[in-house]
Amino acid sequence: MQVGGFPSSYHFASPLSASIPRPFESASSPELARAAFAPVTAGAEADSSQAATSQEEQDRSDDSSAQPGEPRSAKEEQKLQLVVAELANRDREVRAHEQAHAAVGGPHAGAPTYTYTQGPDGKRYASGGEVRIDVGAVANDPQATLSKMEIVIRAALAPAEPSAQDRSVASQAQAQMAAARAELAALRRGEGEGGKAPADQGAEKSDDPSVTSDASRSSPVPAGISLYAASADQQRPSGLLDLRA
């Protein structure tokens, strides 16, 4: 309710005095004006002050309870520590796994790349990883392909617990080795047949049995073939059955 243009909820800080000029001329009765602007008693002022103080304390309490820096309970702190410990263990496992691939793969393996998860402590932990390994055959060189695939297989199975993808890469490398062996065997057969042809022709031209026998005894196998065969035997990969098992 308003009286003479002033809201009824407005309170003066001190009682009215005769020396203070009245702010307006009201057409209402003096009794109504005095009732509207009655001074606040000391008891009412104290009650109002206490209510305001109580409300301020409650507001401060509510604000402090919503602050992010509020201390956690022991149970909440334990849960957070467990999450951080799990993330740290995963980080170590992922890094050890991918670094094993890269270390054994050498020039045929790329550098490890990782995917990260941010923990409740604000740190980043590796949760996944990848190493690219080249499983392509060496063009026109089956022996080099065999050597390369041996390294690829060891790199794929290097971690303590190879994944399904790791075993798939090893299987691909084994297939490349089988193809390289077949190609190498075909090359050896072709070179062997080419080396025997001149000796057979010389035997057919001679009618004397003694000459034929001496020629066959004195004709050595071409050095290039024997050297190649020896070199191939030395470079032949060992333990292939174990790798396939």
One digit per residue, pLDDT tens: the chain, 245 residues? 433 443 433 333 333 444 444 444 444 444 434 444 445 555 555 555 565 556 555 555 444 444 556 777 888 899 999 999 999 999 999 999 999 999 999 999 999 999 999 999 999 999 999 999 999 999 999 999 999 999 999 999 999 999 999 999 999 999 999 999 999 999 999 887 766 655 555 545 545 555 444 444 444 433 333 333 333 344 443 333 333 33
Cα of first residue to Cα of last residue in the chain, in angstroms, is: 97
**pTM for the complete prediction?**
0.51
Give how far Cα 175 sits from Cα of 74, 104, 152, 233, 241, Å: 57, 20, 12, 21, 13
The DSSP call for residue 67 is: -
In whole angstroms, give the CA distance from residue 6 to residue 23. 10
Q: Three-state DSSP class for 13? A: coil
227, 234 Cβ separation under 8 angstroms: no
Listed residue (145, 127, 135) closest to 110, CA to CA:
135
